[in-house]
Amino acid sequence: MRFLLFVLLFLSFAYSLGLVLANNTEVGVNLLFSQAPTMNLGLLLILCLILGIVIGMLLALLLFRVLQNKWEISRLQKANNNLQEQLTQANVVIDRQATAPSVEEAVYGSTATNAHDNHAAQDEAATLTKQKRD
């Protein structure tokens, strides 16, 4: 890996040197609102190439970050859907348990519950009549 990086560095240096030697004329750069001092055309090409590489790398990093965020969002949405499904299943189980007969109903039938309700109603009526007397 280091050898490959060394070769790439050597090739880029050789390319830069070739640009400077092949384009040895002085040029002025007009930046629309200002004028840059005259410089070697090869040096100007190298500066533009380096600037393009830096901007390209920054944009690639930004694009990678956006894609990474999209992947994270989709992963979290899947997890959210999974949790939502688990919550729905838990609510169904709770509803089944709420509508299931109580232990007394299961053992003694519905008459035990009716007798218990009647006894509670009689106690409530006795309390009301006692309150009226007081």
Looking at mean pLDDT, say which of 19-23, 28-32, 61-65 comes out highest: 61-65
Q: In which residue are the tokens 């609102």 written?
A: 33
Domain assignment of residue 40, given as a range: 2-100
Would residue 115 count as lying in a domain? no
* For residue 50, pLDDT beyond 80: yes
Would residue 121 count as lying in a domain? no
Angstrom distance (rounded) from CA 45 to CA 52:
10
How many folded domains does the chain comprise? 1
* DSSP-assigned beta bridge partners for residue 52: none
- What is the mean pLDDT of the segment spanning 67-91? 96
- Please give the pLDDT value at position 77: 97
Would residue 130 count as lying in a domain? no
DSSP 79: H
SS3 1: coil
pLDDT category, 91, cuts 50, 70, 90? very high
Would residue 132 count as lying in a domain? no
Q: In which residue are the tokens 């409530």 written?
A: 124
Would residue 109 count as lying in a domain? no
